[in-house]
Amino acid sequence: MGYFLNTTDDYHIHTLRSLGWELTVCNALYPENSPCRRALKSNASFGEHLFNFLGRFIPLTDLKNILEVGGGLGYLMQDFLTLAPDLRATMLDISPFLLQKQKETLTGLAVNFREMDFLKMAISELRSFDFVILNENLGDFPTLAFQQNIPEQNDPETVRSLNRVADFEKEYSLQFTPDENINIGALEAVEKLCMAAVPHIYLSEHSCETSGNHPSFPHLHFTAPGTPEKIALQGHTEFTIKFSYLQIIARAFNYEVFRGQYIDILPIDLNDKVQTALRSSAPLSDQQEILQHFIYDLYKYEYMIMTQDMKKKG
């Protein structure tokens, strides 16, 4: 039994030609006529919701340099630059295909584009940013995946990652159970952002620590496994994120941390259509299936805001 290093960089660099296979919440809410928008209290895009929500924690209009890592199709940044036109934005992505899509979406806006793996970015390069966004991509970063009956892996990256786990145990008193999958890339990413002392950071991803238990909708019920789960997707495998470990690292660097489920950012309107969809054990139409998946995601996704600005805004 042992660990192997699950990575997605090869897929993102060489294979990815569409995000359709993994419809992100941001993309699901982009079309104005999206059925998902009608399940929310406010008929707005993901970027608009997020911008308004973050304004409670971060002085968004005072910021200058913003970095978005893994911006997908660029919709979130399009909204942010519309709402705060003075922001100077940089989009960094490992995928040449998606970086090109971001260039198309953000045409005419003053944006820098960088094609690179975030995990290879130097700490010194991060220091110029006062806000960094990683929306729905921590699960793509390398994960030490536990598997019974595999021989010990001796490749340099797995060995390096296992050594890093030992560092994290020592530095931050993290305690990994002997067989849990370990989000080593996400841990390193958060540590790097903290070491660069980026004043404000927003992260989100599928979480292994959220649950759904709305009393009126038993079909929505799910419990939190507590350790990262495998998600098999088109051409690659991701893992859910154990945010409590990221929080421990952030607190060690004196960040104030706010965590919660996407339903805080995207409050649900329990109208008749939504209630009917949530009461059905099996969806009766495509639209019901879309709504069921979307609302499940609103409970399953977690966000984490890290800020060094100790005074919470109004």
Residues that bind ligand SAM (CB under 6 A): 8-9, 12, 22, 24, 26-27, 69-72, 92-95, 98, 117-119, 135-137, 140-141
- The nearer residue to ligand SAM, 130 or 188, going by C-beta atoms, is 188
Q: How far apart are CB 188 and ligand SAM at their closest, in Å? A: 11
- The nearer residue to ligand SAM, 240 or 288, going by C-beta atoms, is 240
Q: How far apart are CB 179 and ligand SAM at their closest, in Å? A: 25
Q: List the structure tokens of 28.
A: 């699901």
Cα 235 from Cα 290, distance rounded (Å): 22
- The nearer residue to ligand SAM, 24 or 45, going by C-beta atoms, is 24
Place of tokens 């009608």: 38
Q: How far apart are CB 221 and ligand SAM at their closest, in Å? A: 26
Q: How far apart are CB 272 and ligand SAM at their closest, in Å? A: 29
> Could you tell me which residues are beta bridge partners of residue 40?
268
Q: How far apart are CB 223 and ligand SAM at their closest, in Å? A: 24
Q: Quick check: 261 and 297 in contact, CB under 8 A?
A: no
- The nearer residue to ligand SAM, 48 or 117, going by C-beta atoms, is 117
Residue 3 half-sphere exposure toward CB, CA atoms < 13 A: 25
- The nearer residue to ligand SAM, 130 or 136, going by C-beta atoms, is 136
Residue 15 half-sphere exposure toward CB, CA atoms < 13 A: 10
Q: How far apart are CB 103 and ligand SAM at their closest, in Å? A: 13
Cα 41 from Cα 39, distance rounded (Å): 7
Q: How far apart are CB 205 and ligand SAM at their closest, in Å? A: 9
Tell me which residue has its CB nearest to ligand SAM: 70
- The nearer residue to ligand SAM, 69 or 295, going by C-beta atoms, is 69
73's CB contacts (< 8 A; 6+ apart) are 19, 27, 30, 98, 101, 102, 105
> Could you tell me which residues are beta bridge partners of residue 67?
90, 132
Q: How far apart are CB 237 and ligand SAM at their closest, in Å? A: 13
Q: List the structure tokens of 35.
A: 């059925």
- The nearer residue to ligand SAM, 69 or 304, going by C-beta atoms, is 69
Q: How far apart are CB 70 and ligand SAM at their closest, in Å? A: 2
- The nearer residue to ligand SAM, 70 or 228, going by C-beta atoms, is 70
- The nearer residue to ligand SAM, 137 or 161, going by C-beta atoms, is 137
